[in-house]
Structure 1
Amino acid sequence: MRTDIDNWMPITVSRIYEVFSEIPISWCIAGGWALDLHLGNKSRQHSDIDVIIIRKDQLVAYQFLKRDWTLYKAKDGKLMIWEEGEFLNSTNDVWVSKNNNSPWAFQIMLIDSEESCWIYKREKSIKRAINEIFLRTPEGIPYLKPEVQLLYKAGSSQVREKDYNDFQTILPILSLEEKEWLKLSLKQQFPEGHAWVKYLN
């Protein structure tokens, strides 16, 4: 078990692309980096880097990554070695480093799917075709669509200041369709209301 949760030295977006392009699965950059890739420039410092993969593809990813990386499953506040052949049914986050003593390099987030649809874990009625939640940069780097990433940020149990700032940064370039999807999704998850909805009208 490791407890050094702040020991981060994230690798670059281009290095992530190199690592994951060799793996025959769907994947994309997520988190604040996904929004900056959509924006086309770096809007702030990023303390980590997140990659999304589909849960059913996890063992394929494991086989490729284990050659050069050490993988830890994150659950209930603990970081434990992800053992070979172990299928993570309920764990959503995997932290990756070069070895047991090196800083964290990137984080993998497992998303659920049903047939060819992504399922939003916090409100399972929110679904979308998997091929409709990714975009690509001109260089071909896949990233999570901004409205989907903002739903993850807004839908958290605690919306952090950086999440709100990310929302305000990306809001001016959201299309009407992207705003509408995010607004409807927030209303589904929060029928009692959400503070961001007023900005999406």
Structure 2
Amino acid sequence: MTLTELPWDPLSPAEVAGLFGGVQFWVAGGYAIELAVGRPVRPHGDIDVLLLRRDQFAAQRALAGWEWWAADPPGTLRPWRPGEILPPDVHDIWCRTADSWQVQVMLDESDGDDWVSRRNRRVRRRIETIGNVSSSGIPYLAPEIQLFYKSRSPRAKDAIDLHAALPLLSATQRQWLADAITETGGSHAWLEMILEDRLA
């Protein structure tokens, strides 16, 4: 069995928050949508934790004693050495303590006080606006940003997340999402739904 074939036994968002306390992080992926809507939406095969690239060593401190594996494009896992600065094309780190993966850390870019999309540097926002905090105190990525990332190559589970989150987005959030998709990829099957909802 290869490393990528090892099973996932993901931590819960609350367990992640316990490990990353004191670190600027956001729960991302499907769990971010779930935290935004405040209810279970679908099963989850993993859990994503977003850090700014400049804070990458916070992952090594938070997960001291774990195994950290950097996902080198196009998807080869290799050990991430303590203190190694990951190159700009490495965005994902798979982490485990046993024979299953438990946390995936994702690195995003920043420029001063701005978060910058790694897909398109023209898509950016002030860092303090990219996340929210759940009623239980768990930071999570703003749903419009998470949906923007999911829009690149949407799968069935991404469509489920879109339908769960879209009714809760404000007109401003929907406009940002539509603009970000247009700026990055032009026409997209989600745009009509997003814009219709904005105008409703």
User: Normalization by structure 1: what TM-score?
Assistant: 0.91
Superposition RMSD in Å = 1.5
- Residue 198 of structure 2 corresponds to none
Give 1:198's match in structure 2, choosing from 169, 192, 195: 192
The yes-or-no answer on 1:148 pairing with 2:145 is yes
Q: Percent sequence identity over matched residues?
A: 33
Partner of 2:158: 163
- What is the correspondence of 1:8-157 to structure 2 with a 5 Å cutoff? 8-21=8-21, 24-67=22-65, 69-75=66-72, 76-90=74-88, 91-99=90-98, 102-154=99-151, 156=152
Q: Distance in 2 between matches of 1:79 and 1:134?
A: 29
How far apart are residue 190 of structure 1 and its match? Answer: 2.1
From the superposition, tell whether residues 83 and 165 of structure 1 become closer, same or farther in structure 2 (CA, over 3 Å).
Answer: same
Q: Distance in 2 between matches of 1:31 and 1:16?
A: 13
Q: How many residues align?
A: 193
Query: Who is 1:184 aligned against?
Result: 179
Q: Residue type matched to 2:45 in 1?
A: S
Distance of 1:174 and 1:60 partners within structure 2: 31
Distance in 2 (alpha carbons) for counterparts of 1:111 and 1:62: 16
TM-score by length of 2: 0.92
Q: Distance in 2 between the 1:137 and 1:26 partners?
A: 15
| Deviations 1:110-129 (CA, angstroms, capped at 9, x unpaired) | 00100011111111100101
- For 2:166 and 2:4, the matched residues in 1 are separated by 34
**Aligned structure 1 segments of 4 or more residues deviating by more than 3 angstroms:** none
How far 1:6 moved relative to its partner? Answer: 4.8
In 2, distance between residues paired with 1:25 and 1:63? 9
Unaligned runs of 5+ in 1: none
Deviation at 1:45, TM superposition (A): 0.2
Deviation at 1:64, TM superposition (A): 3.4
Residue 40 of structure 1: CA displacement?
0.5
Q: Which runs of 5+ in 2 are unaligned?
A: 196-200
